[in-house]
Each structure stands twice: as C-alpha cells, then as structure tokens.
Amino acid sequence: MLEAVCGAFVLIISGDAKLIEIVALSLKVSLSAVVFASLLALPLGAAVAVARFPGRKAIVVLLNALMGLPPVVVGLVVYLLLSRAGPLGSFGLLFTPPAMIVAQTILILPIIAALARQSVEDAWLEYQEQLRSLGVSGVPAALTLLWDIRYSLLTAVLAGLGRASAEVGAVMIVGGNIDGVTRVMTTTIALETSKGDLPLALSLGIVLILLVLALNAAAYVVKDAAQRKYG
Amino acid sequence: MSALLPLRLREVSFAAGGRTILDRVSTQIGAGPRTVILGANGAGKSVLMRICHGLLAPTSGAIEWATREEEGTRRQAMVFQRPVMLRRSALANIAYALKAARVTGAECDARAREALDHVGLQPLAEHPARVLSGGEQQRLALARAWALRPEVLFLDEPTANLDPSATREVEAIIQAIHAAGTKIVMTTHNLGQAKRLGDEVLFIHQGRLVERAPVETFFRIPASPEADAFIKGELPWA
C-alpha cells in the first residue's frame, strides 16, 4: 500500500509521459463534452423554464429523471448508433475520442439542462412581472435570464463536468480503452487496478481528484467575486 | 398618435384559487389628475393595477384603452413595490428597458443618462444596480420607467419598503414625473401619502370599488362607512 502511494507520487512529480497523455485526453474529452452539452442544455433549460406549453411538466420530469442516466446504457446506445452496422456507422467514429465526446455529451446534457431549468425558473419568478412590463418575453426573456444568472449556472456546468470526468462506463464501451488512443483516467484506473499496477492507477486517481477540486475551487472563487460585485 | 386615456374598466372581476379578489369594478381613469388607489392590505389594489397594466387578465369583465391595445401597452410603464434590477450597471438597466422599447444607439444612451440625472443617480451610473440601497434602487426603477416617456405610469406601493427619507425622495420624483405630463396612477395604504400625492381617490374595500372622490372630499366627508372606518383607523371586521 505504502509502496503504491510512493510510486504514485513519483509518477506525478516526475511528469511521467504516459500519465500526462492520459490526463490530457481525459480533459480534452470531458471539457469538449461540457462545452457541447452546455451549448444545447442551457438554452433548453431556459426555454423549459420560461415557456408554457402542453407537456411541459412531462419534459421537466423527464429531464430530472435523465439526470440519473446510467453511463453504461448511454455507452451501449451510442455504441449501437456508431457501430459499423448502425445508422451512423459510416462516419467510422467508434473507438475514437469523438465517439467518447458524443457519449459524454448525451450523458451530461440532461444534468446541465435540469439544473439550469431550476435556476432560470427561480429567477423567472423574480423577474417575470418586470420583464413583461417592459415588453420582454419569450426568447429574449430567456436569454436575459441566462445572462443575468450566468454565475449561478456555473454550478450546473460543473455538475456536468464532474459527471463526465468521473464516469467510466460510457467511455469504456464507445472508446474501447485503446492504449494511446482512447485511454482516459477512469478507464485506465479500472484496467490497471485489475492488472495490479497500483501506482499508475493511484496516481491517476489522485490527479483526477485534484483536478475536480481545483476546478470547483476556481468556480467558487469566480462566483463569489461576481456575487459581491453584482449582487 | 391617438389619445391613450381614458382607460375604461367594465365590471372587472378577478378570482384566484376560488377566492374573489376583485368584484365587478367599473370605472374610468382619465388624463390629468393623479389617481390614488387606496385600501387596506389585501383589498385588491395591486391586482387591479396589474389588470390595468396588462400583467393579469380579468376573470370576467373588460378593460379598454382609448387606443388599440398593442399600442396601449407600449405607452405605459409600471414601478413595483420591490424593484427588480438586472445584474448590470444602473445605466445599463435603463438602457435595457429602452432597447426593449426599440430605442437604440446615441438616443438610448442620452435618454438613459438624462433619466439618471432626473433622479439624482448620475454619480452612480456605472455602479452595479443590485448593490444599490433600497431607496436608490427604487429611484433607479423610477428613472427606468421615466426614460420610457410613458403617458401613464402605474406605481404599486412604491414606498412601502422604504425609510422616511427615501420615501420623501421617491415622492418628489413622482411629483416631477407628474409635472412633466405623465398620468400617475398609484396604489397606497398610507393615508398621508394619498393626501400628499393624490388628486382623486379610488377607495377599494374587499375587492369592491366603494368610493371615488377628489382627495379633499374623500378625507373630509367620506361617503361610505367603510372609507370612514379606514380613515379613522378602525378595524372594519372588529
């Protein structure tokens, strides 16, 4: 145990090339997924919060339920879509980083959308009369709300990032955990642990936790500063 | 541009959750005198004002502006009891309202600055609006409404959350907006304020329009027992 911990720190401090490659790919995949998911989920969440249409409650329930989407199921569905015989097989994306980005985007989109919907809806309760009095409704109202609570939405985006960087099932299935191509932190930890290479697994675990911690701390600082500046 | 006023209310009723909040209110609000809608908390004043402004639709009855409806909503503004400011500067909050009314470019900036000047907030133009004090935020809300140059300004208990000195500032601004030619329609439960700012009183009691009179007459010889009791500070249900 102690040996494994020491080994892990040696790998981290020495800047092991393999370690860095795996961490870099993980960040690339998960951050890309967060960007794509946010671009879709934030407007979607705002629209559901502001608009009133038949079936709206069903969509709210669906979004909330999909927050608990099992990563392996998402992986399986994306696998079926992207496999040679699947409808999107001709793109040849299976077992590539783009496939992993697609899977993680699908996985975290409901999380970001559901949390954004809640934040925007709370703000809408406060702003609604004033905005309607000024003649602002529909899409402009939703955009105004999104912009006005942008720092609160960081929390929703971070929840998505946390989920994406921590999940192992979806990237394992659609990425295939190919050494040097689609191997990310979580899949490597799973593999190396079963192989018995504990120092590498442990060092990746430490890096993963430190990254998540650092991102959350940065977001907290930004949000706190914005809160004090804008009220 | 055709005249916006008078605003006619015909048998306007409003019910929510099985409770009648307004009960067949019929009246006419004309240009000129400052109209104060007076009544106790829960009498239905705010709901009446929201129906006039178009934020609520009456359950039955109708309201009619002298001009077409869609044009009518553009030519009025409302200031709420608790001002709602966006997370941007004081100046940008006014500019936002002007842009929503399709006033852009240099004119937007000029009108926003002029409005801030009117309410004495020019030095705070670049301050984030949400960190201003309650009184400053309400003055900013008045500036935002004023910048729109409305023909009618609705004010819903604009000083209910303010201390006496902020109340005086807000009342002075309301007077100035009136003097500049905007029709003032205001709700209050404060008798002193009704006397200071009102020309005519609409007295609402339990959802009904009980009395309408010039402010002087209303306070000297109220025609209804409900108004008499309200002025004397009696509890009508006791």
Q: Do B80 and A129 touch (CB under 8 A)?
A: yes
Q: Do A126 and B130 touch (CB under 8 A)?
A: no
Instruction: Look up tokens 């990237």; give the residue.
Output: A171
In the sheet where B7-16 sits, what is the strand order? B19-29, B7-16, B60-64
Q: Do A231 and B130 touch (CB under 8 A)?
A: yes
Cα–Cα distance, A65 to A114 (Å, whole number) = 9
Taking residue A42's Cβ as centre, other Cβ atoms within 10 Å add up to 23
* pTM (two decimals): 0.86
Please spell the DSSP secondary structure of chain A, one letter per residue: -HHHHHHHHHHHHHT-HHHHHHHHHHHHHHHHHHHHHHHHHHHHHHHHHH---TTHHHHHHHHHHHTT--HHHHHHHHHHHHSTTSTTGGG--TTSHHHHHHHHHHHHHHHHHHHHHHHHHHHHHHHHHHHHHTT--HHHHHHHHHHHTHHHHHHHHHHHHHHHHH--HHHHHHHTT-TTTT--HHHHHHHHHHHT-HHHHHHHHHHHHHHHHHHHHHHHHHHHHHHHHH-
Query: How far off is chain B from A160, nearest CA to CA, in Å?
Result: 25
Q: Do B87 and A133 touch (CB under 8 A)?
A: no
Cα–Cα distance, A102 to A144 (Å, whole number) = 29
Q: Is A144 on the interface with B (CB under 8 A)?
A: yes
Query: How far off is chain A from B209, nearest CA to CA, in Å?
Result: 25
Taking residue B194's Cβ as centre, other Cβ atoms within 10 Å add up to 22
pLDDT of residue B236: 53
Residue B65 backbone zone (phi > 0: left; psi -120 to 50: alpha; other: beta): beta
pLDDT tens by residue, A104-160? 999 999 999 999 999 999 999 999 999 999 999 888 999 999 999 999 999 999 999
Taking residue A183's Cβ as centre, other Cβ atoms within 10 Å add up to 22
pLDDT tens by residue, B12-45? 999 999 999 999 999 999 999 999 999 999 899 9
Q: Do A135 and B74 touch (CB under 8 A)?
A: yes
| Interfacial residues of B (vs A; Cβ cutoff 8 Å) | 50, 53, 55, 73-74, 77-78, 80, 84, 86-88, 96-97, 100-101, 128-131
Query: Does the model's ipTM exceed the 0.85 cut?
Result: yes
Q: How much of chain A, in percent, has pLDDT values that exceed 90?
A: 81
Residue A12, pLDDT above cutoff 90 = no
Q: Do B100 and A132 touch (CB under 8 A)?
A: no
